[in-house]
Amino acid sequence: MTKNPFARAVPAALLGAALSASAFALPALADVKDYRFELVQQEAKVGEAIIAVRLVDQRSGKPVPDAVVFAKRLDMAPDAMEEMATKVEQVPSTEPGVYRFKAKLSMQGRWRLSLAAKVQGETGTVEDKLVLQAAK
């Protein structure tokens, strides 16, 4: 009785191919911690201001368009005046992944912008706090 030398090699090769193919077929799982907001400009003028932020996928470094920003707060907590808050209104943006907000910065100092957003296709909420400087 002669043994076929390929009798063991073929099933092993097929199993290896199936395992490596399935590894490539699995989608990369993202987490809301893979995203962050960043200020487009670190400083704004006192008075009526437009504050632009970019939502970035930290894995690729690319901006994330079409997120739904639903929680917005702007206060002076970095200067120990958290009660000094102002209204924040989202305004249209022409650049994908950049979100713009209109606010009245009533005084010089550091203002904290708190944001929360839902990224399409992800579970959970992206939350971030950014500090910008208001100057004359």
- pLDDT per position as a tens digit, 47-78: 999 999 999 999 999 999 999 999 899 999 99
Do 91 and 49 contact (CB within 8 A), yes or no?
no
pTM across the whole model: 0.76
How many CA atoms are closer than 13 Å to the CA of 123, on its beta-carbon side?
Answer: 1
φ and ψ of 121, to 5 deg: 85, 0
Q: Which residues of the chain are under the pLDDT cut of 70?
A: 1-30
Q: Helix, strand or coil for residue 32?
A: helix
